[in-house]
């Protein structure tokens, strides 16, 4: 078996954990490929660029948080390589495995005793007139917003060619079900089970209070026309890639034909993570008397 490891190198603990796990894996006959920055400080494992690792291995381990996972997910989705997220802090919605669970989980993976869940991605195309200026796949969300926070922008929304409304808002989040627990949730969007075939539109601080989040079928084409005359409108993809938009640009979003293969935690399901992260059922203080 071949296993790749990519991690967040700004956390010092990553190097210690990766080195120890690489040795543990090689002792069991596993071929280990490490992202180049990790390989520099590991006595075992083969060094490889992060973008090449999905083509070399059977499974990728991601050490870090959900942000680190998103970057690796976009690389792995092109090749169908399963990913396991290992969180170096608290539980994540994508990095479900804790540090204490690493070795028991690896035993399962080496034995082939694990489940993979497909998480669909959103294919986003940016058009300027008749020209396509960008095309990207995202796992979480696409955000259109202003650099100047105090200004409102105008965004005309079309679903399968039908005009729905024109949002006057600080921005708009177009989210996958996986991304429903990220930025969309903080903006008042609904929590959606990550396997449902839907796309979520959540306006950010809409000027018209009757403009509410909208959920549509994932095979519907969502188009957002930038009708605002104000400069400095930006498109942000998975919180990691930024593109400046002009008046008249159109952003198209529809479910991608590819997906991220996420190795599920056998220790907790989506609802357990949801309850833990959002502290449902917890009491925030005691009533005197």
Residues carrying an active site annotation:
66
Tell me how far apart the alpha carbons of residues 75 and 57 are, in angstroms, rounded to a whole number.
13
Q: Which of 279, 276, 257 is nearest to 265 (CA)?
A: 276
What are the distances in angstroms from CA 117 to CA 42, 80, 94, 178?
31, 12, 11, 11
What are the distances in angstroms from CA 83 to CA 33, 97, 191, 197?
14, 11, 23, 21
Identify whether the C-beta of residue 131 lies closer than 8 Å to the C-beta of residue 107. Answer: no
Identify whether the C-beta of residue 136 lies closer than 8 Å to the C-beta of residue 239. Answer: no
Tell me how far apart the alpha carbons of residues 157 and 160 are, in angstroms, rounded to a whole number.
10
What token pair was written down for 24? Answer: 């543990």
């Amino acid at each position: 078996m071949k296993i790749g490891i990519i991690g967040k190198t700004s956390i010092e603990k990553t190097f210690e954990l990766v080195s120890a796990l690489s040795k543990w894996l090689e002792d069991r006959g596993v071929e280990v490929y490490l992202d180049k920055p990790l390989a520099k400080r590991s006595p075992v494992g083969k060094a490889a660029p992060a973008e090449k690792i999905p083509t070399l291995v059977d499974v990728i381990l991601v050490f870090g948080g959900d942000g680190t996972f998103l970057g690796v997910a976009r690389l792995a989705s092109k090749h169908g390589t399963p990913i396991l997220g290992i969180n170096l802090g608290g539980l994540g919605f994508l990095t479900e495995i804790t540090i204490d669970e690493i070795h028991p989980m690896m035993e399962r993976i080496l034995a082939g005793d694990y489940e993979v869940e497909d998480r669909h991605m959103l294919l986003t195309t940016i058009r300027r007139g008749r020209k396509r200026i960008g095309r990207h796949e995202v796992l979480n969300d696409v955000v259109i917003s202003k650099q100047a926070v105090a200004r409102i922008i105008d965004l005309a929304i079309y679903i399968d060619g039908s005009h729905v409304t024109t949002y006057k808002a600080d921005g708009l989040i177009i989210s996958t079900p996986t991304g429903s627990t990220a930025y969309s949730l903080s903006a008042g969007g609904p929590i959606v089970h990550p396997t449902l075939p839907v796309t979520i539109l959540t306006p950010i601080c809409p000027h018209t209070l009757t403009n509410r989040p909208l959920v549509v079928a994932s095979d519907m084409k969502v188009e957002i026309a930038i009708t605002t005359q104000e400069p400095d409108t930006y498109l942000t993809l998975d919180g990691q890639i930024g593109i400046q938009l002009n008046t008249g640009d159109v952003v198209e979003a529809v479910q991608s034909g590819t997906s991220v293969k996420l190795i599920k935690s056998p220790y907790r399901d989506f609802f357990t993570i949801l309850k833990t992260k959002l502290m449902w059922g917890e009491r925030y203080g005691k009533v005197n008397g």
